[in-house]
Each structure stands twice: as C-alpha cells, then as structure tokens.
Amino acid sequence: MTDLTSLTIAEAREGFASKSFTSLELTDAHLAAIEAARSLNAFVLETPDQARAMARAVDAKIAKGEGGPLAGIPLGIKDLFATKDVRTTACSKILGNFVPPYESTVTSQLWRDGAVMLGKLNNDEFAMGSSNETSCFGPVVNPWRREGSNTTLVPGGSSGGSASAVAALLCMGATATDTGGSIRQPAAFTATVGVKPTYGRCSRWGIVAFASSLDQAGPIARTVRDSAILMRSMAGHDPKDTTSVDIGVPDYEAAIGKSVKGMKIGIPKEYRLDGMPAEIEKLWTEGADWLKAAGAELVEVSLPHTKYALPAYYIVAPAEASSNLARYDGVRYGLRVPGRSIGELYENTRAEGFGDEVRRRVMIGTYVLSAGYYDAYYLRAQKVRTLIKKDFEDCFAKGVNAILTPATPSAAFGIGEKGGADPVEMYLNDIFTVTVNMAGLPGIAVPAGKDAQGLPLGLQLIGRPFDEETLFSLGEVVEQAAGRFTPPRWW
C-alpha cells in the first residue's frame, strides 16, 4: 500500500470517489511512511491513534456521501498551530509540554472539511530561522541530497518539517507559516509548492505569534492544484482575528488551467543581485520564457526600495517578537524555572527556555524599541516598509498582474554550514521573500528546475492583494513546463 503515499490530494479525492481505497488505508500508508522516515526528524509528535480515529469517522461520512472538500486527506501540522489536547510547542523548550485547550482557526477549518491529522511538524523555534536548525527538537533533514553525496542538507525554514514531510511523501500536504519567507524558502529547497497568502486572508488565531503584522498561514503541497485545494479550506474571515479580512473565499482550484494570455508579468531589475549564481539567473529567464510561451507579456519593473527590505525586516520582526514573547514568563505556560523572587523566576525561565536565536531576536527587538532608539530604528523601518509597499503598488498601478523572481538565492545548503559565525549569512536567504511580507502581498514558490548538483530550485510569483487566483494560474504554467520533482528515497 506504500504507493498510496505518492498520490496527490486531487488523485486521492478521485480514489475515494471510485472507492479504490479508504481514508483509513491512505492514513495507514502515511503512518508507516512516517515511521520509516524518523531519521528525517520532520515530525516532532506523531498522532497515529487520533489519525486512525479521524480516518474511520470520515470514511463513514464518505460512504454516506457527506465527506467535505478535504475528506480523508492525511495532513501534517506545523507545531506553531495550536491543536486541542495535542502538545503544541513552537519547537521551543519554553512551551515545554503545553497542551492547548483550543484549536487554531486554520486547523479547525481543515478538520471541518474532513482532513486527517497525522501529527505535528518540526520548525525553527518560534519560526525564527531559515534552516530549521533552531528547533529545540534538533534539525530537520532534507530528503534531497546532492548527486553522489551523503551530506545532509537543511530543508530550509522555518517550516522545514512541513516541507521535508511533504517532499518525502510522509503527508499529502501540510500547514505552514510565513513571516519573512518561511513557507516559500523551504518549498524551494524541497521541490514543493508553498503559498504565502495575502496578509489577512487566513486567520492567525491559535497560531503561536512571531511578528503579528507579518505572520500568515499557508499550505505546502506537492502540486499547485493541491495547494489551491488546501488554501480554500485554510482561508476565510474569522471574527477572532481582527486582522482577518471579510471577503469571500474563491474556489482557488478553478484558477488552475485558466489562460494567462495577455497578463503582464513584471521582472524587477533590483532582484538581479551581484554575484547571483548563473543557474539562478538561467532558471529565472527560463521561467519568464515559459510564461511568455503561455501568452503573458514580460515587462521590466523597478522596485527601488528592495535593498532596504531585509534590514528593515530585521528591525520590525524582532521588535514585534520581543513584545509577543513577553508572555513566556514561567507563570502561565510551559516551562517554569524557580527563583528567589518573581523577577528571578522570569529571568531563570527565559534564560533556560529560549534558544540562542530567539534570545538574539528578543534583544534586538528590545533595543530598537527602547526610548533612545525607537525613532532611529523602529520608526524608520516602518517608514521604509511603507516605501516598499508603495513600490509594489506603483508597479500594479501600471497594469502588472504579477511579478516573477527567484524564490531563493541558492539551493539547499548543508546542516551547520551557514550562520554559525555571522547570523546575517542565514538572514540573506530571505532576500527575495521578505519584501512580500513587508508589503502584505501573496506569493507562491513553485519548483522550476535543478542546480548543477541535482538540487531543486524554485521560482516565486508575487501577486496583487487578495489575487491568489492569478498566482495559481501562473504557478500551474510553471509547473507544467518544469515538471514535478521527487527525491530518490534513501532514508
């Protein structure tokens, strides 16, 4: 039954309709695959009993013709999403064995539509990172390897567990979150499709907060169609998140296969970095050619404030993080390290509970928000953010439907290879993705080719606010031209 794991969500849906297999069989095949892939460290908690119970319940519904749009589909859930009665840690020691008494809105919508939960997926601690190496559960291994090499590579981050699990056929799709690239960069590193929706499209309620003005939930899947199917269930207005937007959720899947003829696609000249690897440049040109062949018009555009996006992000995101993480004080959640006074209890708990990268962010954030530096750093970064947003608005005002860029400046790198001496080396991974979060726009990363060492590379499409549909249409053109990529199994 293991080949059931290589089906797409769309294929599994057909399989249920033709009664070729049950959700319980599909779920069991995935549970077996997860067990055989523990060396990838993608799951931090497996929930087989719950998965089988959910599968049995949904099989009964399917039999009565009452299955929802995701009926019987086994998914993995990033450990940043609160799951009722199931341990949720954000992969931080400070949350300890926290078991939420509530379910995040996004996951509750997946269960409402019939999906099955296989377990919780590894991520960078509090989603801070680009390699999944900051997790308190240890790094995730990318199922992709360089040709002829045994070096273990990172799957990207922070949604590294989600990307690795989807690429290695351990789940049919996964939830993920993206504050500065955490859905799109790992998708690009693993040849999966990752969608970062418009800010406000998915509810943030019940997702552990990192930087609230940037955080968005989205899917990672193996095809553009599958990501569209998942998006429809994940998106929607939620009165419990005041930043979620009350506009109808379209049938994203209907955008797949829609003509892109006459669409204007921007190629931003500022994304052509000095020293950019020739293969990334080549991939980008190829992507543009595919869209042109499908009838789109390619135009050069300018996003002049691009170079300030990364520095501004590393002020805004840590500032919000330092505020959001103030709640972890040893009193209300998870870990508590006693002290002689309440102040000492806070200090001991936070010193023991937070990892190095999280501590770095809290310190940077506290610094840029402090009385003497607020105007020089935080306020200025907010102004830069407005300029970045305006760059995109100017571009869209000229009739541009979407923007095509590389997803990452390189393919996956080795575990322990980057950021040890200089954290900026790691931060540079997000050079093409953070602008999208700063501007609140939707973005999709689609697998588009391989580098000279056989590692996957992705392209990114950036859309107008709440126009994810155009991204699905264009993304599918790229997918059709590039083909799909599956890592050879070695684990």
In the bound state with ligand GLN, the residue whose beta carbon lies nearer, of 130 and 306, is: 130
435 forms part of the interface with ligand GLN (CB under 6 A): no
CB of 479 to ligand GLN, least distance (A): 23
List the one residue out of 148, 268, 183 whose CA is nearest residue 442. Answer: 183
CB of 86 to ligand GLN, least distance (A): 21
CB of 8 to ligand GLN, least distance (A): 26
Question: Given the DSSP bridges, would you call strands 216-221 and 193-196 parallel, antiparallel or unpaired?
Answer: antiparallel
Residue 78: active-site member: yes
Residue 158: active-site member: yes
In the bound state with ligand GLN, the residue whose beta carbon lies nearer, of 178 and 469, is: 178
127 forms part of the interface with ligand GLN (CB under 6 A): yes
List the one residue out of 443, 308, 290 whose CA is nearest residue 387. Answer: 308
CB of 274 to ligand GLN, least distance (A): 22
List the one residue out of 200, 132, 265 whose CA is nearest residue 442. Answer: 200
Catalytic residue chosen out of the listed positions 158, 164, 233, 244? 158
List the one residue out of 61, 96, 58, 56 whose CA is nearest residue 79. Answer: 96
- 407: helix, coil or strand? coil
| Cβ 112 vs Cβ 71: under 8 Å | no
CB of 267 to ligand GLN, least distance (A): 24
In the bound state with ligand GLN, the residue whose beta carbon lies nearer, of 113 and 430, is: 430
In the bound state with ligand GLN, the residue whose beta carbon lies nearer, of 58 and 121, is: 121
In the bound state with ligand GLN, the residue whose beta carbon lies nearer, of 127 and 412, is: 127
CB of 317 to ligand GLN, least distance (A): 5
Angstrom distance (rounded) from CA 239 to CA 377: 33
Binding part of the chain for ligand GLN, among 172-180, 229-237, 363-371, 408-416 by CB under 6 A, reads 172-180
CB of 462 to ligand GLN, least distance (A): 15
Number of residues in contact with ligand GLN under rule CB under 6 A: 13
Of these, 317, 325, 448, 477, which contacts ligand GLN (CB under 6 A)?
Answer: 317
Partners of 333 in beta bridges: none
181 forms part of the interface with ligand GLN (CB under 6 A): yes
- 235: helix, coil or strand? strand
| Cβ 169 vs Cβ 413: under 8 Å | no
178 forms part of the interface with ligand GLN (CB under 6 A): yes
| Cβ 190 vs Cβ 155: under 8 Å | yes
173 forms part of the interface with ligand GLN (CB under 6 A): no
130 forms part of the interface with ligand GLN (CB under 6 A): yes
Tell me which residues in 198-237 interact with ligand GLN (CB under 6 A). 210
| Cβ 38 vs Cβ 80: under 8 Å | no
Residue 182: active-site member: yes
Q: Measuring CA to CA, how many Å separate 487 from each of 145, 176, 230, 467?
A: 8, 21, 23, 31
Residue nearest to ligand GLN (CB): 182
Binding part of the chain for ligand GLN, among 5-13, 121-129, 264-272, 396-404 by CB under 6 A, reads 121-129
In the bound state with ligand GLN, the residue whose beta carbon lies nearer, of 130 and 162, is: 130
CB of 184 to ligand GLN, least distance (A): 9
430 forms part of the interface with ligand GLN (CB under 6 A): yes
And the tokens for 134? 């900051």
How many CB atoms lie under 10 A from the CB of residue 389? 17
The phi, psi pair for 234, rounded to 5°, reads -75, -30
Angstrom distance (rounded) from CA 167 to CA 170: 8
Which H/E stretch holds residue 76?
A: strand 74-78
Catalytic residue chosen out of the listed positions 130, 159, 182, 244? 182
129 forms part of the interface with ligand GLN (CB under 6 A): yes
In the bound state with ligand GLN, the residue whose beta carbon lies nearer, of 315 and 471, is: 315
179 forms part of the interface with ligand GLN (CB under 6 A): yes
In the bound state with ligand GLN, the residue whose beta carbon lies nearer, of 22 and 164, is: 164
And the tokens for 36? 């055989």
| Cβ 229 vs Cβ 196: under 8 Å | no
Task: List CB contacts of 49: < 8 A, sequence separation 6 or more.
Answer: none
Q: Tell me the DSSP string of 92-130.
A: -GGGTT---SS--HHHHHHHHTT-EEEEEE--SGGG--S
Q: Which residue ranges make up the site for ligand GLN (CB under 6 A)?
A: 127-130, 158, 178-182, 210, 317, 430
- The catalytic site residues sit at 78, 158, 182
